[in-house]
């Protein structure tokens, strides 16, 4: 792929008409792409008097940076505008279609610009798609100042960008657009399309919902709906008309990215926080966005063991049965079982005592030395093992009073006995705590008698 070389970034590319194309064939989102900072919609936390990106524009100096945010929020637009403000050459690559070969070609072009006394901004869209070696190929040229690097990503740079490249770049977080932002975009769209079609509140809210914070998606929908409304000779777009023109859209949902993990985190925390309505909301939102119900089922089972534990052992059974119900019935019937399981988990008594005990025990085992099993606890399946004392002096608990061998030791000899499991006073664990206290007292009494 040849790098996208725009030459002097202060000069706009030829219009579609001048290139022999038809202006109307260019998507609306491209036709009204902001050409000045004042035209950028949203990102008020970065743009405005005294805000970080505005200061960069005013200083006409750009440092290496990464723009992190969901699709359609202006990452590419801001990169182009920054290059224009810095009067720098602008080279754009897409990490999806490029590799080391394209990076080298871009660097060669930047070297030519440098010999002519011009600076270069190298913009890489979806930088998270580059592997480690491809990202490493950029480092020498970023460090030398041959290029100023601007990356755009929908993924968390902490996980997807090499630490060396990340340390040389300032990260700016961009947010999804809101209804106020979409109001401004709608006015621009109507002006560009030359329509005076009124959009009622319900239709506008539906357009915003369909767009899900994505300006490009919003403008694509607006272009389709307004032009079709105009073609039908109507002067108003209402919700019924919108549903006919643009039937139910799939909301943006990144099944492997931050949006996915943020939402599963919200679901898990809502269950842990005992808010059944919030838990059900996040569960349904993920299903609506295309999450795999089988993955959801696995996470729900995990929640039962991690956050409810022995406070309510029924939670394990209900979670497993809900997962099995989904496997048996599929969608949508099986999703009802999962939904009701989410509700049960949210209202169940909570305890992470078992979860914490497991983590502490595992850490203890990894850190401590291997100690032999005491002779009375060893297995003795053969005559030789019995002669060697394996299993000798073992007390069979069922033959003891209360089914408990009071005072018996089940730890390696000489080991300092740790305490892992601390039951809570919630749900069944309150009864478990009583039982453990009773057993501890019997052990103490028996050992005192020895």
Per-residue model confidence as pLDDT tens digits over 84-124: 988 999 999 999 888 888 899 999 999 999 999 999 999 99
Average of per-residue pLDDT across 445-450: 86
Q: Are 203 and 185 in contact (CB under 8 A)?
A: no
Q: Sign of dihedral through CA atoms 82, 85, 86, 91?
A: positive
**Does 373 have pLDDT greater than 50?**
yes
Q: Which domains does the chain have, with CATH numbers?
A: 4-173 (3.40.50.300), 179-245 (1.10.8.60), 258-347 (1.20.272.10), 353-449 (1.10.3710.10)
Q: Are 47 and 58 in contact (CB under 8 A)?
A: no
Tokens (6 digits) for 209? 């919902």
Per-residue model confidence as pLDDT tens digits over 55-84: 988 888 889 999 999 889 999 999 999 999
Highest average pLDDT, of 205-219, 232-246, 248-262, comes from: 205-219
**What does each C-alpha distance from 345 to 284, 395, 446 come to in angstroms?**
15, 40, 41
The secondary structure of residue 211, as a DSSP letter, is: H
Q: Are 161 and 127 in contact (CB under 8 A)?
A: yes
pLDDT band at 450 (very low <50, low <70, confident <90, very high): confident
User: What percentage of the chain exceeds 90 in pLDDT?
Assistant: 52
Strand partners, 89: 8, 120
Residue 209 has a pLDDT of 84
Q: Which of 247-251, 285-289, 329-333, 435-439 has the lowest mean pLDDT?
A: 247-251
Residue 269 has a pLDDT of 95
Tokens (6 digits) for 34? 């902001």
Q: Which of 184-188, 242-246, 442-446 has the lowest mean pLDDT?
A: 242-246
- Contacts of residues 185-190 at CB distance under 8 Å and 24 or more positions apart, as own/partner, are 185/32, 185/41, 185/215, 185/218, 185/219, 185/222, 186/222, 188/32, 189/28, 189/32, 189/219, 189/222, 189/223, 189/226, 190/226
Strand partners, 4: 92
Distance in angstroms (rounded) separating the CA atoms of residues 133 and 197: 52
Residue 97 has a pLDDT of 87
């Amino acid at each position: 792929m040849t790098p996208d070389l725009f030459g002097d970034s202060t000069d706009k590319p030829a219009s579609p008409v001048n290139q022999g194309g038809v202006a109307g064939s260019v998507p609306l989102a491209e036709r009204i792409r902001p050409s000045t900072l004042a035209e950028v919609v949203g990102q008020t936390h970065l743009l405005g008097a005294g805000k970080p990106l505005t200061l960069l524009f005013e200083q006409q100096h750009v440092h290496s940076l990464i723009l992190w945010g969901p699709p359609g929020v202006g990452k590419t637009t801001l990169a182009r505008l920054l290059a224009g403000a810095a009067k720098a050459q602008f080279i754009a690559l897409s990490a999806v279609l490029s590799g080391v070969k394209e990076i080298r070609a871009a660097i060669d072009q930047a070297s030519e610009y440098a010999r002519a006394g011009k600076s270069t901004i190298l913009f890489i869209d979806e930088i998270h798609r580059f592997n480690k070696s491809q990202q490493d190929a950029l480092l020498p040229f970023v460090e030398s100042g041959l290029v100023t690097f601007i990356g755009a990503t929908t993924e968390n740079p902490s996980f997807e960008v090499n630490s060396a490249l990340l340390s040389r770049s300032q990260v700016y977080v961009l947010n999804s657009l809101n209804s106020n932002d979409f109001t401004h975009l709608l006015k621009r769209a109507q002006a560009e399309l030359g329509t005076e079609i009124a959009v009622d509140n319900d239709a506008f809210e539906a357009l915003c919902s369909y767009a899900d914070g994505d300006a490009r998606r919003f403008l694509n929908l607006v272009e389709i709906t307004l032009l079709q409304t105009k073609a039908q000779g109507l002067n108003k777009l209402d919700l019924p008309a919108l549903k006919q023109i643009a039937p139910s859209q799939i909301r943006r949902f990144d099944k492997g990215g931050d949006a996915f993990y943020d939402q599963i985190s919200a679901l898990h925390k809502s269950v842990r926080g005992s808010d059944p309505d919030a838990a059900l909301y996040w569960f349904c939102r993920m299903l609506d966005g295309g999450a795999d119900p089988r993955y959801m089922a696995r996470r729900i089972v995990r929640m039962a063991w991690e956050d409810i534990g022995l406070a309510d052992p029924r939670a394990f059974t209900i979670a497993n049965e809900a997962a099995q119900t989904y496997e048996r019935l599929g969608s949508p019937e099986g999703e009802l079982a999962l939904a009701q399981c989410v509700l049960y988990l949210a209202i169940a008594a909570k305890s992470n005592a078992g979860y914490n005990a497991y983590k502490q025990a595992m850490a203890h085992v990894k850190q401590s030395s291997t100690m032999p099993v005491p002779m009375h606890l060893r297995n003795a399946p053969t005559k030789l093992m019995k002669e060697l004392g394996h299993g000798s002096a073992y007390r069979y608990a069922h033959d003891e009073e209360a089914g408990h061998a009071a005072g018996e030791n089940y730890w390696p000899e000489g080991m300092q006995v740790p305490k892992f499991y601390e039951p809570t006073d919630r749900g069944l664990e309150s009864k478990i705590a009583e039982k453990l206290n009773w057993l501890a007292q019997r052990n103490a009494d028996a050992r005192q008698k020895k």
